[in-house]
């Protein structure tokens, strides 16, 4: 199993050595080392993005199949075996659709909005521990990096709403921002619980701390606080990426399609892609923070992370197919009157329990 576990780090070392051999003597030593690390960084970034694109394509297919199963339909079954190539057909369709920009839109902001929505999703990949020795950058504050980068996305939602110059877009955009920021508060509060349990903000160290009991010492099992924290985190994650039942910013029966209304073609496709990217990433962080990340018995680490992430993704799909949409007042009330107090209480309980456990001055 070590072969599979070390597959990607081994590949990295091999390419690194190859490049060093290649450039040796052709240039001064300092230029060479900078050039090689830049190329390696580029390779890491591109492979992370390609991995995500693949995962998202699978996820879109899975979502459509799942929805069909729950609603007693067949789902996509024409393109490829079991409709597996359906996401690719969707992509091609989006590529050849005309791009319509309303005449009185703020054209620059309208164009930049999907880019701003998409960019944080890619940037967040920089700190994910994909497996043993497979973290692109082990930042000391990786957890805070992930939260901060995630909070840039709301600017994209606002830009889309404002840039379209349309009532429904503006309303959807403003509601979206209000919703996302409201649910960010309990999320960031509940993540403090994880820091207290692991004693670090480095995602690598957080995963390492969950390695006991044959890789099953997960934060979610630190009862009762871990479980409460996980539930809050997951609810907030669904709301942050605007998944049902929190998808009322694009509620097509109320405000047409929210900030999507004036978007078409690939610009709309980018929003769609960003939504799935964000959902996958937030599930990946959920798996990293609460379900032990890549830790697990027998199977290689990166496979464990994928399995755990898909478990969370599937849970989200199930919830989406089962629950009706919230009303906007219920949504805000739920965030501020239920989640925030519970998160605060959970935080206090955790710090007291840890204090008792460590016997600090008690």
Interface with other proteins in residues 256-285 (CB under 8 A): 256, 261-262, 265-267, 269-270, 273-274
* Closest listed residue to residue 321, CA positions, set 60, 74, 67, 76: 67
**At closest approach, how far in Å is the CB of 4 from other proteins?**
24
Q: What distance in Å separates the CA atoms of residue 327 and residue 272, rounded to the nearest whole number?
A: 23
19 binds other proteins (CB under 8 A): no
Q: Which residue has the tokens 């993540």?
A: 191
- Alpha helices by DSSP H, listed for the chain, are 2-5, 7-23, 29-70, 86-95, 107-123, 142-150, 153-163, 167-198, 203-208, 212-215, 225-240, 252-255, 265-290, 301-322, 328-333, 340-358
Q: Which of residues 118-137 bind other proteins (CB under 8 A)?
A: 118-123, 125-126, 136-137
99 binds other proteins (CB under 8 A): yes
Q: Closest CB to other proteins among 77 and 200?
A: 200
54 binds other proteins (CB under 8 A): no
360 binds other proteins (CB under 8 A): yes
Q: Closest CB to other proteins among 321 and 328?
A: 328
Question: What is the DSSP code string of 93-111?
Answer: HHHTS-----TTS-HHHHH
Q: Closest CB to other proteins among 138 and 318?
A: 138
71 binds other proteins (CB under 8 A): no
Q: What distance in Å separates the CA atoms of residue 185 and residue 182, rounded to the nearest whole number?
A: 6
Q: How many residues in total does the chain contain?
A: 362
CA distances from 243 to 103, 272, 280 (A): 31, 12, 12
Q: Closest CB to other proteins among 71 and 104?
A: 104
Q: Which of residues 230-259 bind other proteins (CB under 8 A)?
A: 256
Q: Closest CB to other proteins among 75 and 136?
A: 136
Among 3, 21, 72, 96, binds other proteins (CB under 8 A): 96
**At closest approach, how far in Å is the CB of 63 from other proteins?**
20
- Choices 36-44, 218-226, 284-292, 294-302 (CB under 8 A): range interacting with other proteins: 36-44
Q: Which residue has the tokens 């209304």?
A: 261
| Residue 25 CB partners (closer than 8 Å, separation 6+) | none
**At closest approach, how far in Å is the CB of 174 from other proteins?**
6
Q: What distance in Å separates the CA atoms of residue 67 and residue 86, rounded to the nearest whole number?
A: 14
* CB of 192 closer than 8 Å to CB of 147: no
Among 66, 86, 182, 278, binds other proteins (CB under 8 A): 182
Q: Closest CB to other proteins among 79 and 328?
A: 328
**At closest approach, how far in Å is the CB of 311 from other proteins?**
27
77 binds other proteins (CB under 8 A): no
Q: How many residues bind other proteins (CB under 8 A)?
A: 110
Q: DSSP assignment, residue 166?
A: -
- Choices 214-222, 224-232, 301-309, 339-347 (CB under 8 A): range interacting with other proteins: 339-347
* CB of 307 closer than 8 Å to CB of 152: no
152 binds other proteins (CB under 8 A): yes
Dihedral (Cα; 345, 349, 352, 353), 10-degree rounding: -170
Q: What distance in Å separates the CA atoms of residue 158 and residue 213, rounded to the nearest whole number?
A: 46
181 binds other proteins (CB under 8 A): yes
* CB of 168 closer than 8 Å to CB of 176: no
Among 71, 223, 253, 358, binds other proteins (CB under 8 A): 358
1 binds other proteins (CB under 8 A): no
229 binds other proteins (CB under 8 A): no
Q: Closest CB to other proteins among 135 and 295?
A: 135
């Amino acid at each position: 199993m070590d072969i599979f576990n070390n597959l990607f780090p081994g590949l990295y070392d091999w390419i690194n050595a190859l490049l060093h051999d290649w450039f040796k003597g052709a240039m001064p030593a300092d230029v060479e080392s900078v050039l090689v690390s830049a190329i390696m960084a580029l390779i890491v970034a591109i492979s992370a993005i390609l991995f995500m694109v693949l995962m998202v394509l699978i996820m879109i297919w899975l979502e459509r199949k799942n929805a069909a199963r729950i609603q007693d339909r067949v789902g996509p079954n024409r393109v490829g075996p079991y409709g597996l190539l359906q996401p690719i057909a969707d992509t091609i369709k989006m590529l050849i659709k005309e791009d319509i920009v309303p005449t009185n839109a703020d054209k620059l902001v309208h164009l930049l909005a999907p880019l701003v929505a998409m960019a944080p999703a890619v940037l967040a990949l920089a700190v994910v521990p994909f497996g043993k020795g497979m973290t692109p950058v082990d930042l000391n504050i990786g957890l805070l990096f992930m939260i901060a980068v995630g909070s840039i996305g709301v600017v994209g939602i606002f830009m889309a709403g404002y840039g379209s110059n349309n009532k429904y877009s503006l309303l959807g955009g403003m509601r979206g921002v209000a919703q996302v920021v409201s649910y960010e508060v309990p999320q960031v509060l509940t993540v403090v619980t994880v820091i207290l349990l692991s004693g670090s903000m480095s995602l690598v160290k957080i995963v390492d701390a969950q390695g006991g009991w044959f890789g099953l010492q997960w934060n979610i099992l630190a009862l009762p606080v871990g479980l409460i924290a996980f539930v809050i985190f997951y609810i907030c994650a669904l709301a942050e990426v605007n998944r049902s039942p929190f998808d009322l910013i694009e509620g097509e029966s109320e405000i047409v399609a929210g900030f999507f209304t004036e978007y078409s073609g690939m610009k709309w496709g980018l929003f769609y892609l960003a939504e799935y990217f964000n959902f996958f990433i937030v599930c990946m962080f959920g798996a990293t923070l609460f379900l032990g990340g890549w830790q697990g018995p027998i199977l290689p680490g990166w496979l464990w992370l994928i399995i755990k992430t898909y478990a969370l993704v599937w849970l989200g799909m199930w919830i989406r197919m089962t629950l009706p949409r919230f009303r906007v007042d219920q949504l805000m009330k739920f965030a501020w009157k239920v989640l925030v107090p519970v998160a605060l209480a959970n935080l206090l309980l955790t710090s007291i329990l840890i204090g008792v456990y460590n016997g600090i001055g008690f």
